Structure 1
Amino acid sequence: MSDTTGRALALLDLLQTHRHWPGPELATRLGVTERTVRRDVERLRDLGYRIESMPGAAGGYRLEAGSALPPLLLSDEEAVAIAVGLRVAATQRLVGGPDTTLTALAKLQQVLPAVLRRRVEAIADAVQATGIASGSSVPTEVLAELALACRDHERVRFRYTSAAGEETTRRVEPYALAPADRHWYLLCRDLEKNDWRTFRVDRLSGVEHTRVLFEPKPLTPEQIEEFIWVATSWVRTAVEANAVVELPLAAFQNAMGQWAQGAEAVDAARTRWPVGGREVRETMYGLSWIPTGVDYTTDLAEPQRSELREILERMLRALDGSGA
């Protein structure tokens, strides 16, 4: 293999790995000049790869889908078979390896011609995986777009419909996609809230790439798991209440970590925190996690208020009684 061919293949691999590459960075990674990069891009175009050039300081190169499948070592049938398998896997509740599946699907769909995409959709819609719990329906295209944004550290904009039916537009820095509790969740930094947020992907639509890159804040796997766990637990419940806690918002957030989600300042010294559960014992459990020694009030309504009081009075009598 000649140096020119090897360099062109290395360039192709880089273009398939990230959605957008600045020209100077490609030149640095390949150890060549920007002029050589431009020549290699033209060689790949001659081979059938559709590579878009963007001028300017923020410009560069990106690989786009063409009118025909570029010369990979796959036939159309093989490409469709792989895409169908990845699509079915990506829309199910995966036990492990979701990142690998999504990035592979994103890379393939990035260059798959429209006629083959339609074939993938038709076959995948008729294929039903067995032995996996069913969950919310998520368009593969949305997962693929979000996977690309997570991979490339690119800010995106989308519409989001809350559980209450309220639609908002969000600008975020996407960090990770994760399946949990029969749903897919996007973990990201919400630019308006300046804080971490998790969004149900099935409630998300109209993903727009901004082409604005960002430097992701580091998170450990344990932190990601906690974010997703909080998201799966944070749903509308049968018993709902607010606790007004005698702590400033920042101090409350620092003490509660990710479980402070939904908290808001009442004034400079107090914080309102929504808490609830499927029944009053779960609400009591949530209230018990308010930091030790911190006073608070709650607007828990009847009849749950009287029910909780009766439970606590029995506990106090038990504690005041002599032990066995």
Structure 2
Amino acid sequence: MTTDTPARLLQLLSLLQTPREWPGGELAGRLGVSRRTVRRDIDRLRELGYPVQATKGSDGGYRLVAGKAMPPLVLDDEEAVAIAVGLRAGAGHAVEGVDEASVRALAKLEQVLPSRLRHRVSTLQSATVLLAGGDAASVAPETLTVMASAITGQEQLRFAYRAKDGTESRRQTEPYRLVSTGRRWYLVAYDLGRGDWRTFRVDRVSEPSATGARFAPRDVPAGGAAEYLRQSIRRHQETYAFDVVFAAPAEVVARRLPAWVGVPEPIDGSSCRLRATSDGPADWLAIRLLTLDVDFTVREPAELVELVRTWGTRLLRAAGGR
């Protein structure tokens, strides 16, 4: 019999998180208590915000259902390891749809993982490989979780940084946000050494550590972190403009393109145009366009026009065309 009420509540919650209806008698037997105690414990869980639904009947049943807010979850060892491995794999590459919220979740989970589970997570990850598309830059999940924790805790963050030209420096910052562009992670932070806001490619960061020194939030750049990053990339000329016309409705092209590439504008009911910028090489963008299974015409830049023409000729020869 479980006489420790907090421990019993956690055990009850763990049972209820299995997606099924639990008869009151079965729960009482599992916990080694009376049905009356089960009813009291159910009431306590409801007071804590867990939406437990009761059904009437000879035995009565209980089921955990969706509520208005997300209550804390109780995970067993296998579940915790599976979630941590999955989040680490996704966070290590700036995959579309894996954003700062995922990194924050990983930081919270790894903070409370027992050492034995942390070792299992590291072992599993080292034995697996994620196939990243294009020139997606790989980032150590530990780097992201350290940054996310520093952002959440408003702690100064220190790290080594390698610039585009290979110059190395040490930076002390007040981290503000992590931003994913779909292929890369960036940190937007106030650089204390430079006395101004800066953006940092996370794959060029090493040895990140939270210093423990707290800071008060500063006025953020106009438009927020994403807009500041967009303007910063444009200033450093890491992007180029492209203009493509598709022989398909805008909604069809939008479904097949990653959102971060841009949003096509309708020309008419059967065609659309995409004018945007890219911070990746032209050959990477050409591959994206060729795999959309939609006829298109590249208007600019000239480099992309020539690349598509060359590849088209090559593919035609490969297929036996003349």
Could you state the TM-score of these two structures normalised by the residue count of structure 2? Answer: 0.47
